[in-house]
Structure 1
Amino acid sequence: MTDWTRTVLVGVDGSEGSADAVRWAARLASGRDLELELVHCLQLAGLVYGGGPAESAGLFASIRQDGERIAAEARELALSVDPSLEVSSEALTDSAPALLIARSHAARLVVLGRAGIGGFAGMLVGATTGAVVSHAGCPVAVVRGRQGDGPVVAGVDGGWSSDAVLGTAFEEASFRQVPLVAVHAWIDVVYDSAESSARLMPRWESLEPAEERLLAQRLAGWQEKYPDVEVRRKVVRDRPRHVLLDESSRAQLLVVGSRGRGGFAGMLLGSTSQAMVHHASCPVLVVRDSRR
């Protein structure tokens, strides 16, 4: 999160997951002199009412009143973390994904909670989170799982997004004064059978040194920039999602790139990032490459 803007944008819906996201974002903003922008989108899509104009107007007013209450309660929750925070809150009729994506281009970070109710219903099983993570103009944090002590974990795939991931991970580890675990899992192939596995199995011993050198090269410049961060390297012969999900059970933050190693234009959210957003045991920060 090295952008020059000061706004942390949070989507709120009145659910427990949303409250966790607000508290997490408020603690982050409090420690870094940032301001919070809390938005709630009224759940109007698919709303059908058979009454006359007066009844319809009354229903809409009730929904708006409830949305304004949710936004106001989110603001009070943020201020309970730090009364000196700069916090704005509002309830809007926009589509949740469209609003968050549009405002993300002027934000330092977007924060979403796990699945809840209200304007962001089904966030982690529907299209909202995927759309925001894939198209946001800044990093996106999905607050889920345990929130406490532990290192910052970074998934390093050796691709073009690794620098963006490591830059964010080092900054987070430095600010939090915790170690950084840099994980490079260097096989993501699933074989159909034991027979094909045996037939295609290479000599792992000859490949491992090259993978270790790749991780060392990616880390070199960042370790010089952040000498205060203790770095723990982990090179594993396994699928990235398996290793990162395991590491997330001991981490306070998991940092991953928005795409996989291939970087294909149509793959806006890589399979590993999707798995982390849906299943990690700690908050996940998805970083987009600054060159895009």
Structure 2
Amino acid sequence: MDDAVIVGVGGSPAGLAAVDVAAHEARLRGAELRIVHAFSHSADLDPMVHGVLAQAEQRAHDRAPGLEVTRTVVSGDTLTVLRSESRHAVLAVVGGRGHTRFGDLLLGSAVVQLAAHAHCPVMAVRGRPGPRGPVLLAVDGSPAGAAAGEFAFAEAALREASLIALHVWNTWSEPTPYEGPADPLNVAVDPDQLRKKHRRRLEETVAPWRAARPEVPVELRLERSRVRHALLGAAEEAQLVVAGARGHGGFTGMLLGSVSQALLYHAGCPVTVVRGEQ
């Protein structure tokens, strides 16, 4: 099915926790849940693996009774298999960390690679268990950020949650015009004017999503800070963080390529990364 939610499962607690979240996401969407296991060696198909998959399927049914659940066992490394499976999915869910001899899940850098190359949004389940609070959207004005905004508002509507649209700005990353060698090395900037400019951009960026999802309560939040520091701090009060895969070309300072990596490694709640070309 092209509207399935997929979840990568091996045998770690992180993989099984991802099943709970994936089942919930599938139920919210009225979608099928597809449990995916990748194996690289024939030994990976021993009876213990089948026991793990059966346990994962039972957890999904316990989490979302009546949910349609299928299993897919594919030869290949986990990253390649999940990327391929993501072609026919609306969301891929993985454990934020965890490793077993079954090739389970994606550790740090591999999660980042999947988020960068998957054909659908990727949700990494990490942080504190059962997070509550609003959906947190990192707003940066890039094409990837636009796709992330649409996803975040839709997700907040599905969860019946409020949404914080956070844009972070700072003065040292502002572009300054250069007219020639006579220009001073340091051009003074007016923080008040910059704040007004970024506030206006934040309002303009969020307006279409707000109009499309009027049922979602929205808080516009503008912070002068370092981007990663501000987002990781805000994630402590959120149930989900949504960010674009890359921010080049967006508002100055919001390089969500590096920021999304920081979130995937360190956020205190699940993180969904959405690529602009999706």
TM-score normalised by L of structure 1: 0.82
Tell me, in whole angstroms, the C-alpha distance in 1 between the residues paired with 2:264 and 2:55.
26
Secondary structure at 1:161 match in 2: helix
Among 33, 44, 54, which residue is 1:72 paired with? Answer: 54
Aligned with 1:185 (options 144, 155, 168): 168
Tell whether 2:137 aligns with 1:149.
no
Say if 2:134 is the partner of 1:134. no
Identity among equivalent positions (%) equals 37
Please point out which of 193, 198, 205 is paired with 1:206.
193
For 1:90-109, list aligned pairs within 5 A. Answer: 90-109=72-91
Deviations 1:49-68 (Å, cap 9, x if unpaired)? Answer: xxxxxxxxxxx457533222
Shift of the 209–74 alpha-carbon distance from structure 1 to 2, 3 Å rule, reads: same
Q: Are the aligned partners of 1:184 and 1:235 in contact in 2 as well (CA < 8 Å)?
A: yes
Superposed CA offset, 1:114-162 (max 9, x none): 2112244572334x21221111000000011123320000000122222
* Matching residue within 15, 22, 34 for 1:18: 15
Q: Which of 106, 112, 119 is the equivalent residue of 2:94?
A: 112
Structure 2 residue runs of 5 or longer lacking an equivalent are: 174-185
- Residue 287, structure 1, aligned to residue 274, structure 2: yes
CA contact (8 A) 2:11 2:104 kept: no
Q: Distance in 2 between matches of 1:246 and 1:181?
A: 13
Shift of 1:80: 1.2
Aligned residue number for residue 177 of structure 2: none
> Of 214, 218, 225, which residue of structure 2 is paired with 1:227?
214
1:202-243 deviation digits (Å, cap 9, x = unpaired)? 321121101000011011111111111111011111122111
Q: Which residue of 2 aligns with 1:53?
A: none
Equivalent in 39, 62, 81 of residue 42 of structure 1: 39
Structure-2 separation of matches of 1:139 and 1:162: 12
Determine helix, strand or coil for the equivalent of 1:228: coil
Note closer, same or farther for the CA distance 1:178–1:125 as it changes in structure 2 (3 Å cut): closer
Aligned with 1:7 (options 4, 8, 17): 4
- The 2-side partners of 1:72 and 1:92 are apart by 16
What 5-or-longer segments of structure 1 have no aligned partner?
45-59, 191-198
1:241-280 pair list within 5 angstroms: 241-262=228-249, 270-280=257-267
Q: What amino acid does structure 1 have at the position aligned with 2:154?
A: E
TM-score by length of 2: 0.86
CA distance in 1, matches of 2:171, 2:105: 29
Are 1:217 and 2:204 an aligned pair?
yes
Amino acid at match of 2:207: A
Cα separation, partners in 2 of 1:63 and 1:32, compared to 1, 3 Å: closer
User: What letter is aligned with 2:160?
Assistant: Q
Whole-Å separation in 2 of the counterparts to 1:166 and 1:216: 13
Look up the SS of the partner of 1:182 in the other structure: strand
* Residue of 25, 35, 49 corresponding to 1:28: 25
- The answer as to whether partners of 2:4 and 2:89 remain within 8 angstroms in 1 is yes
Question: 1:227 & 1:16 partners in 2: Cα distance?
Answer: 38
Misfit runs of 4+, over 6 Å: none
What amino acid does structure 1 have at the position aligned with 2:220?
Answer: R
Deviations 1:170-208, CA, capped at 9 Å, x for gaps = 111112122110000123958xxxxxxxx6663211211
Q: 1:120 to 1:202 in 2, by over 3 A?
A: farther
Shift of 1:32: 2.3
Q: Kindly tell me: are residues 174 and 188 of structure 1, through their superposed partners in 2, closer, same or farther at Cα, counting changes over 3 Å?
A: farther
Task: Determine the structure 2 residue equivalent to 1:166.
Answer: 149
